[in-house]
Amino acid sequence: MASITLEGITKTYTGDVQAVKGVNLQIEDGEFVVLVGPSGCGKSTLLRMVAGLETITDGTLNIGERVVNKLEPAERDIAMVFQNYALYPHMTVYNNLAYGLKNRGFKKGEIDQRVHVAAKMLEIEEFLERKPRKLSGGQRQRVAMGRALVRDPAAFLFDEPLSNLDAKLRVQMRVEIKQLQRRLKTTSLYVTHDQLEAMTLGDRLVVLNAGQIEQVGTPMEIYARPATMFVAGFIGSPAMNMLPVDYLHTQGANGLLDNLPDGTDIVGIRPDDMHLTPPTAPHLTVDSTLALFEAAGAESHLYVNLADSDQPTVIRVSGQPPVAEGETLQFYVTRDALHPFNSATGQRTPSPGE
Amino acid sequence: MVENRPWANVFAHTVLIIGVALVVFPVYIAIVASTQAPYELLRGTLPLLPGSYGIENYTQMWQSGVSSSNSPPAALMLWNSFVMAMAITVGKLFISLLSAFAIVYFRFRFRIFFFWLIFVTLMLPVEVRIIPTFQVVANLNMLNSFAGLSIPLIASATATFLFRQFFMTIPEEMLEAARVDGAGPMKFFKDILMPLSVTNIAALFVIMFIYGWNQYLWPLLITTDPDYTTIVMGIQRMTSEENPQWHLVMAAVVMAALPPVLVILFMQRLFVKGLTETEK
Amino acid sequence: MQTKRMTFPGRWLPFALLAPQVIITLIFFIWPAGQALYQSLLREDAFGLRSTFVGLENFARLFRDGSYVNSLSVTVVFAVGTTLLSMSVALLLASTVNRMIRSRSTYTTLLVWPYAIAPALAGVLWWFIFNPSIGIVPYMLEMVGYQWNHRNSGSDAMLLVILAAAWKQISYNFLFFLAGMQSIPQSLIEAASIDGASPIKRFWTIIFPLLTPTTFFLMVVNVVYAMFDTFGIIHATTEGGPAQATNILVYKVYADGFIGLNLGSSAAQSVILMVIVVALTVIQFRFIERRVNY
């Protein structure tokens, strides 16, 4: 068990391409931190640097008390779950789990005991003598986890471990990983591009974009107060709508927009904060035409064209409202649903007193 | 697909049967000849059906050979061929696996240079540089030895390329997982890479074994001692007599052809894989 | 050239791993090739005691020498004959086998094994079949009035070695043609037959054009085979005769060097052959690159 500290971690590839630009991050002992961001944001590179699979161009990496920049992956006391599992195809499940222990010179009895404990925890005991090729996707995933578990390492590193599973299995494994981590309390660093996976798994999220940290916080902090327009657009589905303040003024803002923080020229509104019936609190009223109606069962997505604007906008409501495509409709937004941003800096504009 | 052309199938089978017959014909003749009495082949034309002297001919060839052409017993020649073929095959596989491993899994100075150096061997068949190669082997005192028979032939660009190609298709994560699991280079080679390459090794083994077994010019040049005569060159010696004893020659031909043919027949899948992949 | 994304650290290990291959290559390939190059510029006196530098004189002599020019043209006839015969028979057999469903693997098995026969043995087998006194084919030819004798007739001898060389190579060509045909999408054939093309028409308008890469590849391989791998066939049968009629280039290198003991000339011939191999290899690789880009 250990904390992980990243100080100014940088990765530069030949040709001066900076994949990771000076990341500072402190992961506490036992914490589950998720690195999330679009593909190419540097999240996998960052994880692989922690694992020792990529060299660190600049910065300091601590696992526990040790600086591990120059250490081999095997010497860092970490275990990794790979996206494609990377199970050794010619070895039985048992030997896949045991290989890392054998290389570390564990005694036969100890290996046997650890393999069985891990296999029991993951419910793969009955497959121990099988080769990976004879397993289903979900079972392989469990073996990959088992290989990390048996080692009882200082930290688990997960590199998009669920992305090769079908949707249903993915949800199931997500729950299991979370429960397992709660039980073992092993420091974990988890990479995903799926914001829902990130929200549900992480104690804290690190949102990365273009090699830099955009925001660090608990899932709810990030959802409730996205620090940048990028985070606002990336976390939450459907994505947050962005409307220029000037446009809202033309729609009869009746003083509601007057106390927006200085520098605000754009506001974000979550699709579920746009109501079709007027709330009692003071609110904005916006006219629009329904372009496309998407029924998703418990909820519906309404894609609307705003009057006098070509800004794509989506509204989320529960159930199925009695509306038809082509119909004009009004929606209502209260003041506290507005996320103020400055479009030039991309940052959230601070409210007075912040 | 529905095809309503009954004559087409009859025609196709006819073509194939004729084709197979033509391909089999020379070997059938060899079997016929090898089972005739010695005088039968002096009388003019060869009978079309096997005779009854098979056991005598094969036994004689196996045990005593043909002394008039200085050919040792087939048993010895087959053994020599086997040793040479195995030495060449194992040697080629061994050094090719090691060099492909180095080229794919390490970065080091002159890597490209070495790659091309190995590649050049593709372009220099032994027949082409036969005399200077012979001189080198003679200077190294390797004439009339199994070392001389095999070592100069075990450099293999083909096998190195095939293994390199195959190693490149192994997922990156396999190495990464192994390193996280604490495996060093040679451990990775032995525990992961070799087992994963088993099918490729077997396929190449088939091809290389046939290559080694069928060596002709090289053993012809560097062995003069009958103790090192291989079966293929031994047969040539027997045929270059004034009046070859064809019934024995053909018995030897059948015995010489049998091992590699059996290898192909029993490992046809591996053989086809080895053949089509080495030439890509 | 690629390596893995991540590689092993190691200063000496990679060199140690390469050492066996590289040492053998240097001693038995590069050094002799260099020697050939060097000797091709020298001439030895009749007793092999002294050698003098003669520049490109050995090469010039070769091309003035009628027997070398003859050997060149013999090689062309032999290589073209072998390639054409072997490839056309193989193509016929492969396209016929490709129609078969249940019997495909049986026929394939029956057709592939000659690959295992050594060229020298192939030569001995055909030599025996065509043996003018006891061979079965001359006996039959005589009945139709043809007097076969490869000991006297240059064209008979050439035909014999072509037959032997082509016979051995059929299985190789067959396998590649079959593999090529099986990689043609079945849907194309189905589309053509819905368009009303008969099997023969389908072969010439769909299958054969799509086999072009395979055909070209096999042509190069067959020429290389005929030029360099057929030493055994010639040596075990005609020994280049009668009257040089089958004296192909690889055989001549050997004969001039080991029997004629004309080292300078033989070395010059080696150098020319190496140039030919390099050229053929380059052609082959150009073509492979193109095929990859398809």
Chain mean pLDDT for chain A:
90
* Within-domain flag for B1: no
CATH classification of the domain holding B206: 1.10.3720.10
Residues of the domain holding B95 = 6-278
Give me the residue from A80, A85, A103 closest to B183, CB to CB.
Answer: A103
Q: What is the mean pLDDT of residues A235-259?
A: 83
Q: How far apart are CA A97 and CA B207, in angstroms?
A: 36
Q: Residue range B57-78: average pLDDT? A: 81
User: In the predicted model, what is the mean pLDDT of residues A142-160?
Assistant: 92
Residues of C in contact with B168 (CB under 8 A): 2, 4
User: What pLDDT is stored for residue B225 in this prediction?
Assistant: 86
Are the C-beta atoms of residues A238 and A218 closer than 8 Å to each other? no
Rounded distance between C-alpha atoms, residue C121 and residue B239, angstroms: 11
**Exposure pattern of C77-109 as b/e (b: 16+ CB <10 Å)?**
bbbebbbebbbebbbebbbbbbbbeeeeeebbe
Number of compact structural domains in chain B: 1
Q: Which residues contact B80 (CB under 8 A, 6 or more apart)?
A: B227, B228, B229, B230, B231
B129, B246, B275: residue with CB nearest C128 = B246
Q: pLDDT digits over A59-108, tens only? A: 999 998 899 999 988 889 999 999 989 999 999 999 999 999 999 999 99
pLDDT tens by residue, A225-244 = 999 999 999 998 889 999 98
**Is C288 close to B280, i.e. CB distance below 8 A?**
yes
Tokens of C218: 């096999």
Mean of the pLDDT values across residues A48-53? Answer: 92
Residue C292 clears pLDDT 60, i.e. is over it:
no
Q: How far are the Cα atoms of C70, C155, C217 from residue C240, in angstroms, in the given order?
A: 11, 12, 28
Burial profile B130-169: b = 16 or more Cβ within 10 angstroms, e = fewer: bbbbbebbeeeebbebeebbbbbbbbbbbbbbbbbebbee
- Domain definitions of chain A by residue range: 4-232, 242-341
Q: Does B183 touch chain A (CB under 8 A)?
A: yes
pLDDT band at A150 (very low <50, low <70, confident <90, very high): very high
Q: Name the band, by pLDDT with cuts 50, 70 and 90, for residue A253.
A: low
**B178-217 tens-digit pLDDT:** 999 988 899 999 999 999 999 899 988 998 999 999 999 8
pTM: 0.84
List pLDDT tens digits, range B11-47.
Answer: 889 999 999 998 998 899 888 888 888 777 766 667 7
Subunits close to A (at least 3 CB pairs below 8 A): B
Alpha-carbon distance A305 to nearest alpha carbon in chain B (angstroms): 47
Q: What residues of B are in contact with residue A74 (Cβ under 8 Å)?
A: 179-183
Interface test with B, best of A50, A99, A104, A157 (most B CBs within 10 A): A99
Which chain C residue shows the shortest CA-CA distance from B212? C118
Calpha distance C46→B187 (Å, rounded):
59
Whether C72 and C249 have beta carbons less than 8 Å apart is answered as yes
Establish if B148 belongs to a structural domain.
Answer: yes
Separation between Cα atoms, residue B156 and residue B121, nearest integer Å: 7
- The reply to whether B190 touches chain A by the CB within 8 Å rule is no
Mean of the pLDDT values across residues A197-216?
94
pLDDT of C294 above 50: no
Are B105 and C8 within 8 A, CB to CB? Answer: yes
CB spacing of A79 vs B180 below 8 angstroms: yes
Rounded-to-integer distance, Cα A14 and Cα A11, Å: 10
Mean pLDDT within C106-123: 90
Mutate to test the interface with C, among B216, B270, B276, B280 (most CBs of C within 10 A): B216
Q: Write the class of the CATH domain A242-341.
A: mainly beta
HEC assignment per residue over chain C: CCCCCCCECCCCHHHHHHHHHHHHHHHHHHHHHHHHHHHCCEEECCCCCCEEECCCHHHHHHHHCHHHHHHHHHHHHHHHHHHHHHHHHHHHHHHHHHHCCCCHHHHHHHHHHHHHCCHHHHHHHHHHHCCCCCCHHHHHHHHCCCCCCCCCCHHHHHHHHHHHHHHHHHHHHHHHHHHHHHCCCHHHHHHHHHCCCCHHHHHHHHHHHHCHHHHHHHHHHHHHHHHHCCHHHHHHCCCCCCCCCCCCHHHHHHHHHHHCCCHHHHHHHHHHHHHHHHHHHHHHHHHHHHHHHC
B262 within a domain of the structure (yes/no): yes
Higher pLDDT, A26 or C42: A26
| Distance separating alpha carbons of residues A329 and A321, to the nearest angstrom | 11
List Cα–Cα distances, A18 to A8, A10, A13, A58, C4, in angstroms: 13, 8, 6, 11, 21
Contacts of C1 in chain B (CB under 8 A): 111-112, 115
Q: Is residue B138 part of a domain?
A: yes
Q: Which residues of B touch A85 (CB under 8 A)?
A: 173
Pairing of strands A204-209, A283-295: unpaired
Counts for chain A of helices (H) and strands (E), in that order: 9, 17
pLDDT of residue C71: 92
d(CA B140, CA A158): 58
pLDDT per residue as tens digits for the range C42-70: 877 666 667 778 878 888 888 888 889 99
Nearest CA in chain B to A54: B176
* Cα A105 to Cα A81, A113, A164, distances in angstroms: 22, 15, 33
Closest CA of chain C from B219, distance in Å: 12
How is residue B24 written in tokens? Answer: 């089999």
Please tell me the distance in Å from B169's CA to the nearest CA on chain C. Answer: 10
- C-alpha dist (Å) from residue A133 to A88, A140, A143, A201: 10, 9, 12, 29
| Between residues B68 and A97, the one the model is more confident about | A97
In order of their start, the domains of chain C are 75-258+266-293 (1.10.3720.10)
Report the topology of domain A4-232: Rossmann fold (3.40.50)
Instruction: Provide mean pLDDT across the span A51-62.
Output: 92
Least confident of A31-45, A120-134, B218-232: B218-232
The subunits that touch chain B, with at least 3 C-beta pairs less than 8 Å apart, are: A, C
pLDDT for B280: 44
| Host H or E run for residue A188 | strand A187-192
**Residues of B in Cβ contact (< 8 Å) with A82:** 173, 176-177
Of A86, A103, A147, the CB nearest to B174: A86
Chain B CB within 8 Å of residue A55 CB: no
Question: Among partner residues A74, A89, A91, which is closest to B179 by beta-carbon distance?
Answer: A74
Interface A-B: count of C-beta contacts within 8 A: 59
pLDDT in tens, B103-162: 999 988 888 888 888 887 777 777 777 888 888 899 998 888 898 889 988 888 888 888
